[in-house]
Amino acid sequence: MIPPVPGLVEQFKPRLKYLLIDENAYTDSDLASLKNLVAAVFRIEHPASPEVIGGLLGLLEEWLADRPDLRRMFALWIRATLMRKAEYRIVLPLVDDLQELNVMLAERLEEWANAYKAEGKAEGEALALQKLLKKRFAAVLPMCWPRSLRLPGANRYLAGSGA
């Protein structure tokens, strides 16, 4: 991985052994069976759901009980990782410990659940209204439109037989 270097510099070139790990080669269930920090990092970077992150935080708290320095480092890294993910739309306050992060995340999970329920309810209501309008005004709407605005197939669509 390090390109050849000229002359005297060659003796100072690092000679390190490394292991390249493809994190995408492991499924969440494979990683869940491993009890180590690297597996936890991979699972946090690609969580199956927001709830999984809470469980991982609990495991990290347990594993790092005697390492406050690592608990803080993991808390800061996880916070940054979650804030970077667009699908979570999350803003977490600065925290110093995994336990604080877990509490904040639990609060956010409840907010997400309520937001998703409200979004689903709004979509359902919009679909129901759309169906009611089609049913109620299917025969009237095409007659109200000027001939130039009528679309081919609109009658079929309004009657529910079109896509």
**Average pLDDT for residues 78-96, to the nearest whole number?**
72
**Residue written as tokens 């129901």?**
128
Q: How many CB atoms lie within 10 A of CB 100?
A: 17
pLDDT of residue 162 exceeding 60, the answer is: no
Cα dist from 78 to 6, 29, 81, whole Å: 42, 20, 5
**Average pLDDT for residues 65-90, to the nearest whole number?**
81
**Average pLDDT for residues 6-32, to the nearest whole number?**
85
Cα torsion angle, 102, 27, 41, 62, sign: positive
What pLDDT shows up at residue 29? 86
Residues 6+ apart with CB under 8 A from 122: none
Beta carbons of 71 and 126 less than 8 angstroms apart: no
> What is the value of pTM for the model shown?
0.53
Across 29-44, b (16+ Cβ under 10 Å) vs e yields eebbeeeeeebbbbbb
Q: How many CB atoms lie within 10 A of CB 63?
A: 17
**Average pLDDT for residues 15-25, to the nearest whole number?**
85
**Residue written as tokens 């996880």?**
78
Length of the chain equals 163
Q: How confident is the model at residue 88 (pLDDT cuts 50, 70, 90)?
A: low
**Average pLDDT for residues 83-102, to the nearest whole number?**
72
HSE, CB side, 13 Å, CA atoms: give it for residue 155.
7
Q: How far apart are CA 92 and CA 101, in angstroms?
A: 8
What pLDDT shows up at residue 93? 67
Rg from Cα positions in the chain: 28
What pLDDT shows up at residue 57? 87
**Average pLDDT for residues 71-77, to the nearest whole number?**
87
Helical pair 98-137 and 50-63, crossing angle rounded to 10 deg = 170
What pLDDT shows up at residue 154? 58
